[in-house]
């Protein structure tokens, strides 16, 4: 798509997996534009979780364009993902009553442990379905799902890849790409972060530093449940993409943590 809006804005694609991201230019101005993003973006902008929303427009194709301020910056490195700033911003998201209210208003859905397990089994290849370790872990997770009142569910991002974190040149940190946002146990997000970016040997220290007051046995049980569930989902995803080295690395990681019977 390459088009002009009536007031002179020219929109050009800038790549990405979805094909929905563009750069908008008008004289010396520059904006980041997305097509058909969630109306939840307005609340995220208001809470300064994402870059400032400048305008929203409906165009003749029936699509909706949203324009945000263009910020020069970079994605976080894998090493930076385990830092305190990431945890602090994620905690702001999880604790925001405004975000929860707005996500519900725009049709956000609750995601429960059984939904995540169903997603894992949906379309699962026979080779993974019959894999002894994966089969055993999945059965254990099914029989011992975490009990956490859905009234305490919070807004969760659901895709905490380091490329979805923007550190601006002015040293402001933002979390972008909210298409996977749901209402869920906030530990779902935290476990995703820990599994992907914190070395296994550092888990205990990382949890103690960031969540000392919450580090009850129940919290640890929920964390390990979601860690293993996230690894199952990652293994499935890597298998589907043909990334077998990464898949086997996740299987080894799962084998390691699944030995810790005290958490399940």
In tens, the pLDDT along 173-189 reads 999 999 899 999 999 99
Tell me the CATH number of domain 3-70, given options 3.30.420, 1.10.3470, 3.30.200, 3.40.50.
3.30.200
Q: Which of 2, 63, 149, 159 is catalytic?
A: 159
Task: Dump strand ranges (E) for the chain.
Answer: 3-4, 10-13, 21-26, 29-35, 53-58, 64-69, 73-75, 154-156, 165-168, 173-175, 182-184
Token pair belonging to 69? 């301020």
pTM of the model: 0.88
Count of beta carbons in the 10 Å neighbourhood of residue 233: 16
Give the fold, CATH level 3, of 74-263: Aminoglycoside 3'-phosphotransferase; Chain: A, domain 2 (3.90.1200)
Q: Which of the pair, 35 or 94, is modelled with greater confidence?
A: 94
User: 3-state DSSP: the chain helix, strand, coil percent, rounded to 5?
Assistant: 50, 20, 35
User: Is there a catalytic annotation at residue 189?
Assistant: no
What pLDDT sits at residue 254? 94
In tens, the pLDDT along 6-23 reads 667 787 887 655 557 888
Collapsing DSSP to helix, strand or coil, 76 comes out as coil
Count of beta carbons in the 10 Å neighbourhood of residue 155: 29
Q: Is the pLDDT of residue 207 over 60?
A: yes
In tens, the pLDDT along 23-64 reads 888 887 888 988 878 889 999 999 999 999 998 888 777 878
Domain boundaries, the chain: 3-70, 74-263
Mean pLDDT along residues 250-260 = 90
């Amino acid at each position: 798509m390459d088009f002009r809006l009536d007031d002179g804005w020219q929109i050009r694609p800038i790549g990405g997996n979805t094909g929905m991201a563009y750069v908008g230019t008008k004289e010396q101005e520059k904006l980041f534009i997305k097509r058909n993003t969630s109306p939840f973006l307005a609340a995220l902008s208001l809470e300064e979780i994402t870059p400032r929303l400048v305008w929203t427009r409906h165009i003749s194709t029936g699509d909706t364009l949203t324009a945000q301020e263009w910020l020069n910056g970079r994605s976080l490195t894998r090493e930076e993902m385990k830092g305190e700033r990431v945890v602090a911003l994620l905690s702001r998201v999880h604790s925001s009553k405004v975000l929860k209210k707005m996500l519900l208003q725009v049709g956000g859905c609750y995601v429960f442990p059984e939904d995540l397990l169903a997603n894992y089994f949906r379309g699962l290849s026979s080779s993974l379905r019959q894999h002894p370790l994966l089969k055993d872990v999945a059965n254990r997770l099914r029989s011992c799902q975490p009990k956490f009142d859905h009234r305490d569910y919070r807004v969760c991002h659901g895709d905490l890849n380091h490329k979805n974190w923007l550190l601006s040149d002015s040293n402001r940190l933002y979390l972008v790409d909210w298409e996977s946002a749901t209402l869920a146990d906030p530990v779902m997000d935290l476990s995703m972060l820990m599994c992907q970016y914190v070395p296994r040997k550092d888990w205990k220290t990382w949890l103690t530093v960031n969540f000392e007051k919450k580090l009850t046995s129940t919290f640890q049980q929920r964390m390990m449940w979601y860690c293993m569930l996230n690894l199952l989902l990652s293994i499935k995803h890597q298998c589907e993409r043909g990334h077998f080295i990464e898949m086997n690395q996740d299987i080894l990681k799962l084998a390691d943590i699944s030995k810790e019977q005290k958490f399940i």
